Amino acid sequence: MSTYKSPAIRRYTIRLAVLMSLYVILIFAAGWTFRHSAIAGLPAYVLAITPALPIIGVFWAVMRLLVEESDEYVRMLHVRQCLFATGFCLMVMTVWEFLQNYDLVPAGNGGFGAAFFWFVGLGLGAVYNRITLGTIGSCP
Amino acid sequence: MKNRLKVLRAERDWSQSDLADHLQVSRQSVNAIETGKYDPSLPLAFRIADLFGLPIEDIFLREG
């Protein structure tokens, strides 16, 4: 086994764990607050946006991974995964939007927004790397 | 791009992991370069050349 351990992947994993923990806390805190208090106006907008911040943080963490990864081949695998995820997400959201435009599916997204499909796309991007290049690298 | 990495590695009795350690890259990188799935950047190509003590053109060969 090669002893190469990517410091960038280690930092990414720590950042991801912190951000996801924060997300779980904030999503439950926001839900509980909206159910148990009559919050309205500007504070309601701020509270509603709060759980989105760790998700945005995950996008930042992925982009930092691309910047910090020193192994150029592994970095290329990550970039391919991100491009695949972006294409997949845009495709799903575009199709969904048109289905909604013609009232073939209900309005709203049931909690599955663009971020969800982008993260699914990252997973599928790893599979794409595996099929086309024979390796997934170090999966973000 | 074709290359002689596998031969040069075998001459030194190095595994892909050994070469990866010398170059401070992942084993996947060495495998991808060796099998022609990935062409390294010029800086990495120079590092490979320096490691083997050869000019780049003695390691990486033009297609055709």
Average pLDDT, chain B: 93
State percent of chain A over pLDDT 90.
80
Assigned token pair, B39: 């062409």
User: Cα dist. A84→A4, A39, A81, B8, B34 in Å?
Assistant: 26, 40, 5, 36, 25
Residue A77: Cβ-neighbour burial (10 angstroms; 0-12, 13-18, 19+): buried
Q: What is the ipTM of this complex?
A: 0.91
Q: Which residues pair with B61 in a beta bridge?
A: B2
HSE (side-chain half, CA atoms, 13 Å) at A115: 12
d(CA B4, CA B52): 11
With CA atoms as reference, the chain A residue closest to B35 would be A133
Residues of A with CB under 8 A from a CB of B: 1-4, 6, 70-74, 76-77, 133-135, 137-138
For residue B23, give the nearest of A73, A78, A80 by alpha carbon. A73
State percent of chain A over pLDDT 70.
94
pLDDT single digits (tens) A60-95: 999 999 999 999 999 999 999 999 999 999 999 999
Interface with chain B: mutation pick from A73, A78, A79, highest number of B CBs within 10 Å: A73
d(CA B28, CA A74): 8
pLDDT of residue A131: 92
d(CA B14, CA B51): 12
Provide the pLDDT confidence category of residue B17 given band limits of 50, 70 and 90. very high
For residue B17, give the nearest of A70, A1, A138 by alpha carbon. A1
Provide the pLDDT confidence category of residue B32 given band limits of 50, 70 and 90. very high
For the segment A21-27, the average pLDDT, to the nearest whole number, is 96
Check pLDDT > 60 for residue A2: no
